[in-house]
Structures are given as structure tokens and as C-alpha cells.
Amino acid sequence: MKENQEKALSLKAKDEILQAVFKEYQYAKETLEKIHDENYFPKVHFDYIIHEQTSSYQFYEHRLLHRLDQMQNSQKLIRFVDEVLARLPPKEREILTREYIDHAQTDWWKASYARSSYYRTKNRALDHMLEYLMLS
């Protein structure tokens, strides 16, 4: 049944799904870059006592936990996408990387591929990527 659903998706529909996935991937990478910024996590000051019942303490605790969760989710997504890309054949990996991560010019492939082989390989790459997404 999953095979029928996959076959029913058009190239455009697959493309839209993977655009959304790679957009989240790019956002996750940007989030991890922000983490290295010193203002991403709230500061902890040891020169005074924090009372757990205060609203400011609860705000900072919530903010810290939210950002830690966001960091872990970003790391998981990046690791997953990187692992899937590493498992793909080199030509499929190149197409997905150039199309969705590097955002190469629309006709970048014309120097390396015939039109039919490019779309055939791209379609296979999209199918493989969607298959990994469904299995996860």
C-alpha cells in the first residue's frame, strides 16, 4: 500500500515535501549556529540566591529548557538528513545537495546530465529520501 501511495505522488509533490524537509534542515543548522552565540542561553549568575518560586526564575528555567529542547531537535534532524544523504548513491546525493541545500542555479545540471537521466536520477533520489522519511 505504501508503494501505491509513493507512486501516486507526482514529481512536483515529492519536490514540495522535500523542500519543506530541507527548509527545516537549514533552519536547524542556523539554530545550532546561534547556540554558539553567547546570548542564546540565559546567563547564570552565582553571586546571588535564586528562589525557585519567583516568576523570573520560572521564566528563565522555561526558556533554558525550551532552548535545550530546540538544540536537541535540531541536532537530531541534521544528523538524520546527513545520514540519509550519506546512504544515497553519489549522483542522487549530488542532485539533492545542489537542489535543496546549495540552491544551485536551476540549470546547473545541464553540464553534467542529459535531461532524461537528470530527471530519472532526481526522481529516484526523491523516492529514496521519502522512503527513509517514512521509515523513521
pTM of the predicted protein model: 0.71
pLDDT at residue 45 above 70?
Answer: no
What mean pLDDT value characterizes the chain? 81
Task: Please compute the mean of the pLDDT values over residues 18-32 and round it to a whole number.
Answer: 91
Binning pLDDT at 50, 70 and 90, where does residue 35 land?
confident
Buried b (16+ CB within 10 A) or exposed e, 15-53: beebeebbeebeebeebbeeeeeeeeeeeeeeeeeeeee
Of the two residues 41 and 98, the one the predictor is more confident about is 98
Q: How many helices (H) and strands (E) does the chain have?
A: 5, 0
- Three-state DSSP at 116 gives helix
**Residue 60: exposed, middle, or buried by beta-carbon count in 10 A (0-12, 13-18, 19+)?**
middle
Per-residue pLDDT reduced to its tens digit, 75-132? 899 999 999 999 999 999 999 999 999 887 888 889 889 999 999 999 999 999 999 8
d(CA 83, CA 110): 28
